[in-house]
Amino acid sequence: MATLVKHLILCSSTTTSSSASPSPSNRRPPSSPDGADKRAHLTQSSTRRLAVAASTAMVATAALSARRPAAPPPAMAAEAAALRAPAPPGTVPRWGTRSYVRERFFEPGLTTEEAAARIRQTAEGMRTLRPMLETMSWKYVLFYVRLKSKYLDLDLTTAMAGVPEPRRPEYVLVANELVDNMTEFDRFVRTPKVYESYLYYEKTLKSLDDVAEFLG
C-alpha cells in the first residue's frame, strides 16, 4: 500500500512539472544584441532612403522650374495680343512676329498705305525695346530687330510709290540711312557692346521718324 501511494505521488509530481514547463515549440529564443542591431540598421536605412527620395524630388522640381520659358518681351507680347484681337473694319491690321512666313510668302503684297502703316508700327515697336536694352536682354532685342529688318526691306520699296516724285531722292537717302543704322544696331547687339548698341538704337529711332515724316 505504501508503495502504491509513493508511486501515485511520484506520477502526479512528474505530470505537474511537465505541464508547468513550456514545450520546445512554444519556447521563444531570447533576443540577442545582434538582432537589435539589425533592426536599428534597417530603420536607419529606410530613413536614409526617404531623405534621399525627398532631396531628389526637390532637385527635380527646381530643375523643372528653371527650365520654364521666360516671359516674352513687351513688344512681342503686345503684337501677339493684337493678333488675337480682330481689327475692326476700316482700320490697318497689326502685323505680328508669328505671321511673318504667312505674310511674306503666302499672301499678296501690301499696298502703299499698308506698307507705310507697317513702317510706322515698326517705329512704335522699336521704342518698346528700351526696357530690354536696359536689362541687356540681347536675345529678344536681336530677334525683334532682325524680324523688323526683313519687313523693312520690302516696305521701304513699296511705300516709295506714295512719296512725291521730287522728294524721292531724299527719301532714298533717308531709307538707306535707316537700313545702315539697323544693320549696325544688329551687329553691336550681337557682339554685344552696350554703348554702341544704345548709340545705334537712338540713330535707328531717328531714321524711322525721318522715314515716317516722308510718308505723312
Q: What does the alpha-carbon distance between residue 190 and residue 212 come to, in Å, rounded to a whole number? A: 27
Q: What does the alpha-carbon distance between residue 112 and residue 198 come to, in Å, rounded to a whole number? A: 31
Task: Report angle CA 184, 186, 189 to the nearest 5 degrees.
Answer: 105
Q: What values do phi and psi take at 157, rounded to 5?
A: -70, -40
3-class DSSP string for the chain: CHHHHHHHHHHHHHHHHHHHCCCCCCCCCCCCHHHHHHHHHHHHHHHHHHHHHHHHHHHHHHHHHHCCCCCCCHHHHHHHHHHHCCCCCCCCCCCCHHHHHHHHHCCCCCCHHHHHHHHHHHHHHHHCCHHHHHCCCHHHHHHHHHHHHHHHHHHHHHHHHHCCHHHHHHHHHHHHHHHHHHHHHHHHHHCCCHHHHHHHHHHHHHHHHHHHHHHC
Q: What does the alpha-carbon distance between residue 146 and residue 124 come to, in Å, rounded to a whole number? A: 16
pLDDT of residue 25: 46
Under-50 pLDDT residues of the chain: 1-26, 30-31, 69, 82-92
pLDDT of residue 153: 82
Is 0.75 surpassed by the pTM of this model? Answer: no
CB 134 within 8 A of CB 194: no
Model confidence pLDDT, tens digit, residues 15-44 = 444 444 444 444 555 445 555 666 666 666
Model confidence pLDDT, tens digit, residues 112-125 = 998 899 899 889 98
